[in-house]
Amino acid sequence: MKGILYIVSTPIGNLEDITLRALRVLKEVDVVAAEDTRHSSKLLTHYGISKPLISYWGGKEKLKAEEVLRKLHAGQSVALISDAGTPGISDPGSVLIERAVADGIEIVAVPGPSALVAAISLSGLSIKEFTFIGFLPPKRNQRRRTLSKLTVEKRTLVFYEAPHRILEAIEDMTEILGERRVALVREITKIHEETLRGNLHELIGMLAGRTIAGEYVLIVQGSKGETPCLDTAVKEMLVLMKRGMSRKEAAKTVSEQYGLSKNDLYERSLGE
């Protein structure tokens, strides 16, 4: 008989944010597959749990997934955990889950903390519908291209961002998305938890002079249906043209991203 793979959500900061069911599962399984065994050992030790640990961090994920699958096929039960929150949600874990599905392994979710849900709940923005983007591309051109595709998205946008890129990301959002209401949540459930609210431009001022550190969730108001800035779209065209794309191709690409007329973009770009 095959074992069961449990996807267990763990605290995103405060160690008290763990369910009784999660603790029971962690005590009952044969093996714990952890993103970082050093980090997870602290959680398990805190609750007096001692289990064999397998690390599946980073480049090891594909290789370690095979090791975990062998244990599951041998009848052992495995708890999959990440450093914080739910495995696979902007965290490692999806490779193992996909393989387990393909191999017919029973998978059980043990839900719990999620920075995504917690941040949205206190943002003060519309949460009737939202789109989770996760981490934006680290390179500026790719990041701006991704943001350009979101200019006409009417649902609330939710991003994760690293501290060393948060200011650059907000500056790009201000230029490409325009002035939108925003909530920036830092270190949620931790000692230095903080929520900043305002618009994108104001947020840049709020962060000026501060020590930029910790984990960030950024919630941005969706489009109200306004026409995207033509000047910004033309700038995106020029970037693409400098990279070797023809004016016609650039106009077509950017028009699809912004929902603008490619002819208008083409004509406007001639004066640049």
Res 178: pLDDT: 84
Res 121: pLDDT: 94
Q: How far apart are CA 149 and CA 145, in angstroms?
A: 7
* Same-domain status, 179 and 163: yes
Q: What is the CATH number of the domain that holds 202?
A: 3.30.950.10
- Supply the range of the domain harboring residue 89: 4-113
Per-residue pLDDT of the chain (272 residues), as tens digits, is 899 999 999 999 999 999 999 999 999 999 999 999 998 999 999 999 999 999 987 677 888 899 999 999 999 999 999 999 999 888 888 999 999 999 999 999 999 999 999 999 999 999 899 999 999 999 988 898 888 888 878 899 999 999 999 999 999 999 888 889 999 999 999 998 999 999 999 999 998 877 777 789 999 999 886 555 677 788 888 888 888 888 888 888 888 777 677 887 888 888 76
**Is 86 part of any domain?**
yes
> For residue 218, what are the contacts with CB-CB under 8 A and spacing of at least 6?
158, 159, 160, 161, 166, 169, 170, 182, 183, 184, 185
Q: What is the CATH number of the domain that holds 75?
A: 3.40.1010.10
**Is 188 part of any domain?**
yes
**Is 225 part of any domain?**
no
Q: Of 89, 113, 137, which one is at a domain's C-terminal end?
A: 113
DSSP string, 152-202: T--SEEEEEE-TTTHHHHHHHHHHHH-S-EEEEEESTTSTT-EEEEEEHHH
Length of the chain equals 272
Give the count of domains, the chain. 3
Res 180: pLDDT: 93
* Same-domain status, 40 and 130: no
**Is 148 part of any domain?**
yes
* Same-domain status, 31 and 75: yes
Structural tokens at position 93:
């874990």
* Same-domain status, 263 and 214: no
